[in-house]
Structure formats: structure tokens, C-alpha cells
Chain A
């Protein structure tokens, strides 16, 4: 029989709905996989083993009783440890919040619960969601299932590594500068950040209010579409959340790319890119063409201004949120994080406000440059091959600062622009580590980006490959 832990979200939900697998069996398969491999990967912060089995049992009884099932019924999930559940510790990957018990539950967790997903616990992450590598000085670094010395990407490190390792079918991450898309790319899974404000942020740890996003990491674009349909949409408890109606993203996955035009910016995304990354990206474009898409290289001069402005917004907002802790006990942060936060206090308010004030104009300009006559913007998710944890550790050597910061160069612009962006696996580099294809669409066109990603995955099997994780010593 197939190892149930290998099932995707949609396959697991379908198997449960058809009575081919019980929720308890799905959870036990996930637990067995975690027990076998998490000592090496370190994706899990807290495993709620008994609670997960109880929730699974309740799902099994509901199904047996003929209760209508939600679209995620029976599906094991775990989430980055920054989604609040009332009364449960949410560490945010930090020492500072090591015993923080929120009074509220995140809206997205309420929605996943209502859809029948089984929450098995919380996941490792960058401290306060603020590094792109997966280092964590308090809970231990998260390790890439495709090569343990390598980065997982961050900040949703446990989400990316855990989905790749088949510990669970899906996980929530968060994305302020690439924190869903980077671990998705680096761990060989699929991840999406929606349009800014598309998914409500009630009960979610803030980092940068202007650019924070909630979204899933999954194995497939179809899985991401199902989860996004569940978690998106206005929340009265989050007045900033978008009122636009949420379509059934999964229903729009036709596999047909005829008439779809893909734009590739000439600027920014290939500056200093590794050859193997460029070759992998160009091969991915050929797959899209084979499915019927056209590909055009376009000039996007707005990216220089976008690149400058995005560098200040999240740093200032993050520094503001953390100011009291930075004054009172800066030694409780990891070295790289207190260093990063410190820089935020040097940026003048006039420059921060300039960056925010030009955001609308630059979004309009970018859309004119990139989306006039085109539906999708495609880029590599990273410019570089996956680096090791050692060569990006600022805590070990501040000289690694530039390499560490360069990881998110290709993802950050889309946070400033606020447009939906997917990363999906598109091959492996010459060291056997995954590479990612990044697809962006116009505002509120999450369905378009997911449809192109799904079409690509119908033609390739990168997303279906399973890492061979070394046995525990």
C-alpha cells in the first residue's frame, strides 16, 4: 500500500472522502515520518501528537456519521510557530516569546479547522520571521531534506522542509520578503503569497504590516489552490483584509496555456545569477511554451526604484515593532537578527514615507512595463544555487552578511508590488539541490499564477520527487 504520508493535500482529502483512508491513518503516517527523520531535519518545534490523533478520530466519526466534509478533511498539517491559537505557546521562533500564550486564534487557523484540516503542531522558523536562510539560534537550524548541510530557506524554514520531507501535506508560512517562496524554492515544494491583503492576518505575528502575507507551502499548485480558497477572503477582525470575492482557485486549473503570454524582465532578476540557475529557468520556459504559452523578454526600468524602496519598508517597520526589546534586552536575539534590526533605526522617516508613497505609482508603472499584453511575469526564485548553512551564517562570521542578504533579491520586489506570486520546483542544480520558478500575476489574479504553475506541473515531475533523507546516526 502507498505510504499515506506521500499523498498530496488533494489526494489525501480525496482518499479520506472516499473512505480509502482514515484520518487517523493519515495522521499516523505523518507522525511516523516525523519520528523517523525530524532529528536530522529539525522542522518541528512542537508536535501535538495526542491532540492530532483525537482530531483525526473526530473526523473519522463525523465521516462515519454522514456529516458533510470540508475540503481539507483528514489532511495533516503543521504551521509556522507564529499563527496564534488561544492559550497555546507561540514562540515566533524566539527566546523572547518562548512562553507567549496569545488570547486569540488566527483567522486562518479557524478557517483551516472549519475545512477539516488536522493541526498537528508548530514548526521551526527564522526568529521573528526575519532571515532568508533557516538559521535559528534558539531552536536549532532547520536542515534541507535534499542535503542536510544546506539552507532550507526562510523564514518559513520548517514549513518548506517539512512539506519536502513528507512530514505533512501542507503548512502555512508567511512572506514579507520571500519567506514562503524561498523555502518553497530551496526545498523543492510549491508556495504562494497572495495579493497584499488577500489573506487576513488576524492572530498572526506581525513583522512589517505593509508587506506581511499569509500563504501555504504545499507539494503541488493544485494543493496550494485548495488551501488558498479556504484561507482567503475578508475577515471583519482584520479591517485591512480585501473585500474582493474569492474564486474557487482549483476550479480554474485547466492545464491549458494557449493564449497565455509570459513576460520575462531583462533587469534585476538575472544580475549575477549562477549559470545553472539561468539554464534551469530557460528550460522551464520551454515547458510553458510546449503547453501553449508565449514568452517575451521585456524592459522593466521601474525595478531599480522598487529595489531601493523595498529595502527600507520592512526594515523600518520591523525595527519599530522591536524597539522596546532592542533597548531592553538585545542579547536575547540571535546576532544576525539584532544586527539586522539595528540597521532599521538608521533610516530616516522621510525615506520610509517616500518608499510607501511611491508604491502605488510604481505598481502602476511595473504593470505597464511587464503586464501590458502579458498575463504572467516569470523569473528564477533565487539567483544563486542553494547555499550551505555555514556559508550564510552571520552569527559565525559577519563577513557572510552579503551572501545571506542576497538570497531574497528576486523575491523582495513582489512584496513591494503586492502582487500574487508563486514559486514551484523547476529542477535541481549541479549539487542536487532544488531550483525554483517564480510566477507573478496582476493583483488578485492568484488563480492565473496557480493555473500556470499547475500546467507546468502536469508536464514535469520535479514536485513529485521525494528526498532520500539520511538515517539518524
Chain B
């Protein structure tokens, strides 16, 4: 990862979304991302081939409190 990835992220946002950095707070928002990227790196390999978003609805129902 570059020492400061902010310029690359700004370029990617402009390329993909057509949105420019609106103010210094926007740049500050990007400063959090190296830490978030590191958290995702730590999670690599934990997602299974079968994982998909609808599994959440099934889990909500499966994990209800057992009836007494």
C-alpha cells in the first residue's frame, strides 16, 4: 500500500463515481481507510464459497429464542 493512499483513492472515486472531494472532511474520511483495509486483510479466507446475503434472513429465523 502507498504511504499515503489518499490521492489514489480520490482518483478512483472520481473515475468510478464522478464525485470530487467536497472539503477537508472528505479527505479526513479517507484517512481511516488504511486501518479498515488492514481489518479486512485480517479477515481474508474467512468467507466461504457458499456465503451469500440471503443467509442473513435465514439466520434471523434460525436464531430465535427457543420457546419454553
* Interface positions of A (Cβ within 8 A of B): 195-197, 304-305, 307-308, 311-312, 319, 323, 326-327, 330-331, 333, 335-336, 338-340, 342-343, 345-346, 351, 353-354, 356-361, 363-364, 367, 371, 375, 394-395, 398, 401, 405, 418, 441-445, 448
- Inter-chain CB contacts under 8 Å: number: 142
Known: A196-B60, A339-B28, A443-B64. A357 touches B23 (CB 8 A): no
Given contacts A339-B26, A357-B55, A361-B48, 7 further A-B contacts (CB under 8 A): A195-B60, A308-B42, A335-B23, A342-B21, A360-B58, A364-B63, A445-B65
CB-nearest residue of chain A relative to B20? A330
Judging by beta carbons under 8 Å apart, are B33 and A338 in contact? no
CB-based closest 6 A-B pairs? A339-B25, A360-B55, A343-B29, A342-B26, A308-B39, A360-B59
User: Closest CB-CB distance, A198 to chain B, in whole Å?
Assistant: 10
Q: Which residues of A contact B21 (CB under 8 A)?
A: 342
Which residues on B sit within 8 Å (CB–CB) of A441? Answer: 65
- With contact pairs A327-B18, A342-B29 given, residues A443 and B53 touching in the complex (Cβ less than 8 Å): no
Report Cα–Cα, A169/B9, bound state, in Å. Answer: 47
B23 cross-chain contacts in A, Cβ below 8 A: 335, 338-339
Q: Interface residues of B: mostly helix, strand, loop or mixed?
A: helix
- Chain B neighbourhood of A327, CB < 8 A: 17-19
B43: nearest chain-A partner, CB-CB: A305
Per-position 1/0 for B1-45, Cβ under 8 A of A: 000000001001100111111111111111111001001101100
Contact B59 A361 (CB under 8 A): yes
Chain A residues near B54 (CB-CB < 8 A): 360
Chain B: minimal CB distance from A247 (Å): 12
For B43, the chain A residues whose CB sits under 8 A away are 305, 308, 354
Distance from A327 Cβ to chain B, minimum over Cβ atoms (Å): 5
Determine which of A333, A346, A359, A445 lies in contact with B12 in the assembled complex, contact meaning CB atoms within 8 Å.
A346
Give 13 pairs: A residue, B residue, CB < 8 Å, sorted on A: A197-B57, A308-B36, A339-B23, A346-B9, A353-B53, A360-B57, A363-B59, A394-B25, A398-B27, A401-B25, A401-B28, A442-B65, A443-B59
A252 CB, nearest partner CB in chain B, Å: 12
Q: Which residues of B contact A375 (CB under 8 A)?
A: 65
Question: What residue in chain B is nearest A394 (Cβ atoms)?
Answer: B25
The answer for the CA separation of A356 and B54 in the assembled complex, in Å, is 9
The chain B residue sitting closest to A367, CB to CB, is: B63
In the complex, A443 Cα to B28 Cα: how many Å? 36
Q: Using A357-B52, A360-B51 as known contacts, say yes or no to A398 and B24 having CB atoms under 8 A apart.
A: yes
- B51 in complex: contacting residue of A319, A336, A340, A361, CB < 8 Å: A361
| Chain B nearest CB, measured from A387 CB (Å) | 17
Contact of B22 among A195, A338, A361 (CB under 8 A): A338
A401 and B29 contact, CB distance less than 8 A: yes
B51 and A345 contacting across the interface, CB-CB below 8 Å: no
Cα of A327 to Cα of B53 in the assembled complex, Å: 29
| Partner among A304, A343, A353 whose Cβ is within 8 Å of the Cβ of B33 | A343
> A367-B63, A443-B60, A443-B64 given as contacts; is B25 within 8 A of A356 (CB)?
no
* Set of chain A residues within 8 Å of B29, measured between Cβ atoms: 339-340, 342-343, 401
Closest B residue by C-beta to A315: B29
Q: Which of A340, A345, A359, A367 contacts B53 (CB 8 A)?
A: A359
- Contacts of A196 on B, CB cut-off 8 Å? 60
Residues of chain A lying within 8 A (CB to CB) of residue B55: 357, 359-361
Q: Which residues of A contact B57 (CB under 8 A)?
A: 197, 360
